[in-house]
Amino acid sequence: MAKKKKQSAAARTGGAIPMSPARFMREKARTLPVGKCYIMRDWQKKADVVAVVTRRRGSGNIVMCSFLVDTCCMGIKDLDLSVNMTPEQWEEKLAELQEFFGLEEVGYAVVHNFLLTALDFAEEGGIEPPEPWEIAQYILDDDTDDIPMIDFRFGVEGKHVLYPTSYAVTPDMIRKMRDNLGTDFVNLAGDEHTKGITTWLDEEEARHPHEPYIDPGDFPEPPPTDIIAHPDIIEKLSKIDELPPEELTEQIDEIIVHDSDSLMSDFNIALLNEIALTRYENEEMNFRPLLFNIIFAAIEHATDQLAPAMEQLLLMDDDFYDYHFGTVPAELLPTLLARVFADAPERLEAIICRKGLVEIARVCAMSGLALIPQVNPDRRESIRNFFVRLLEEAPEKVKNLDALDAHSAGFLLCELLDFGCDEELHRLGMRLFELDLIDRGIIDPGSFRVGLRCENQLKTRQALLGSLEVE
């Protein structure tokens, strides 16, 4: 019997052999007409700048590459290349870039010179562009006399400056800069980069003691489970080892529409019983998924009916959290807590002020409190005043490990960035850095300033930014 011959790639595709993105960029990209190009508005006042180059394919689709450029030292730090976007995809991408980075349209020569100057400046310090540049570079034309030259000045008075948010900095990069520049560069990035980020994070955590856990003692006997109104739902949730399947989620949603109070009451009773059952003996138990599944199922519909169970849950130890949640409590609990305590944030504030919580519980409680204004805007002012009082008392609390330590205080400042700070909260937060009462591996003062949209990240920042010009 004769064997069938295999078709060639050309035959299978009607004569055209599909190109890989890399081959397409090398062989075809520069033959396409240049499309619109963009750069961030007021880029001269920024250290990290986004620039975008596009080309238009014959089909009307778009080749696009966006570049993240450090104008102070590192040149092109990152890039995002797409070789065949539909016009609709490109419009959506452009809208996203506009929203986050405030782009303005410029001529191709501006972006061409900007990117090549960034490469040259970084190369002076021995810094190479990211690996994808090997392919992405073909979105730019060859650098010939046909392209008008535009003079860009990078760095601070010509010097390379590593600043605190240069998180791509590594010890090897600093060694290369010393080999190429000697001492003629400025390193504001700090020990976390000269030592290596992992070593520095470990050292930073080790020099700040952790608040010890305090067992809260006995809880009241939980309500009997035989008063649960929807035992079938609880039974199903107790047997699912992963997230509730879609059909069970739909069943829960249907019950909530007609009888939300009774289902939330059932969830509270079941949670209180699970807490009592797994509080101390969890190391010897097979995993019981009920508590996790109830929290997942209730997260979008939670009411204050769950408050008693949440108050107990926040007093549990690390073993309890590891048993029920693994690494995900911070992703689930804050949203649930915000809904449960939306009308009574003072109950959550009381837990935050309680001595002896484990770190994950305190952080989730603070995060949940910061989210409450999204659920109940009327409570924003009272919560803001609570955060002011907490920051005023924080120096003594951290020193005495009294309901706060340097690690949870760092997470508190992170939450304030999302909550929205005013000058008073900013001043109180910066005082903790000045007193060295913050684990800077969680948040550093430069990031705190930047997050609060302050004008400068460091006192040297104004000179740094003011020296970036385009002629």
pLDDT digits (tens, 9 = 90+) for 416-453: 887 877 888 889 999 999 999 998 878 877 667 655 43
Give how many domains the chain has, as a whole number: 2
CA distance 43 to 46: 5
Average model confidence (pLDDT) for the chain? 84
Question: What per-residue confidence (pLDDT) applies to 164?
Answer: 55
In this structure, the answer to whether residues 233 and 376 fall within a common structural domain is yes
In this structure, the answer to whether residues 416 and 280 fall within a common structural domain is yes
Q: Within a domain: residue 5?
A: no
pLDDT above 50 for 122: yes
What residue numbers bound the domain in which 268 lies? 225-438
Q: Within a domain: residue 296?
A: yes
Q: Which two tokens stand for residue 116?
A: 């090549």
pLDDT above 60 for 175: yes
From 119, 137, 153, give the residue that closes a domain: 153
pLDDT above 60 for 290: yes
In this structure, the answer to whether residues 392 and 300 fall within a common structural domain is yes
pLDDT above 80 for 248: no
Closest Cα to residue 219, out of 279, 167, 174, 297? 279
Q: Within a domain: residue 462?
A: no
Task: Using pLDDT thresholds of 50, 70 and 90, give the confidence band for residue 457.
Answer: very low
Q: Contact 119/75 with Cβ under 8 angstroms?
A: yes
pLDDT above 50 for 456: no
CA distance 266 to 263: 5
Burial of residue 281 (CB within 10 Å: 0-12, 13-18, 19+) is exposed
SS3 153: strand
In this structure, the answer to whether residues 139 and 249 fall within a common structural domain is no
CA distance 266 to 271: 9
Q: Within a domain: residue 178?
A: no
pLDDT digits (tens, 9 = 90+) for 73-113: 889 988 999 999 999 999 999 998 988 888 999 999 999 99
In this structure, the answer to whether residues 141 and 248 fall within a common structural domain is no
Task: Using pLDDT thresholds of 50, 70 and 90, give the confidence band for residue 286.
Answer: confident
In this structure, the answer to whether residues 240 and 387 fall within a common structural domain is yes
Q: Which of 119-133, 191-205, 328-342 has the highest mean pLDDT?
A: 119-133
Q: Which two tokens stand for residue 138?
A: 């073909």
**Mean pLDDT value of segment 362-380:** 95
In this structure, the answer to whether residues 129 and 245 fall within a common structural domain is no
243-266 CB burial, b ≥16 within 10 A, e <16:
ebeeebeebbeebbeeeeeebbbb
Question: What per-residue confidence (pLDDT) applies to 222?
Answer: 96
Beta-carbon count within 10 A of 29 CB: 22
Distance of CA 25 to the CA centre of its chain: 32
Output phi, psi for 428, to 5 deg: -65, -35
In this structure, the answer to whether residues 232 and 376 fall within a common structural domain is yes
Q: Contact 67/74 with Cβ under 8 angstroms?
A: no
Q: Within a domain: residue 46?
A: yes
In this structure, the answer to whether residues 258 and 353 fall within a common structural domain is yes
CA distance 310 to 322: 17
CA angle 411, 163, 72 (to 5 degrees): 140
Q: Within a domain: residue 371?
A: yes
Closest Cα to residue 148, out of 102, 120, 119, 106? 106
Angle between helices 345-352 and 380-400 (to 10 degrees): 10
**Mean pLDDT value of segment 229-255:** 81
Q: Within a domain: residue 8?
A: no
In this structure, the answer to whether residues 140 and 264 fall within a common structural domain is no
Question: What per-residue confidence (pLDDT) applies to 19?
Answer: 63
From 153, 173, 191, give the residue that closes a domain: 153
Q: Which two tokens stand for residue 368?
A: 């949940």
In this structure, the answer to whether residues 234 and 123 fall within a common structural domain is no
pLDDT above 60 for 1: no
State what percent of residues in the chain have pLDDT above 70: 83
Q: Within a domain: residue 128?
A: yes
In this structure, the answer to whether residues 131 and 261 fall within a common structural domain is no
Burial of residue 17 (CB within 10 Å: 0-12, 13-18, 19+) is exposed
CA distance 46 to 409: 29
pLDDT digits (tens, 9 = 90+) for 123-160: 999 999 988 999 999 999 999 999 999 988 888 777 88
Closest Cα to residue 294, out of 213, 358, 364, 228? 228
- Is the pTM higher than 0.75? The answer reads no
Question: What per-residue confidence (pLDDT) applies to 447?
Answer: 65
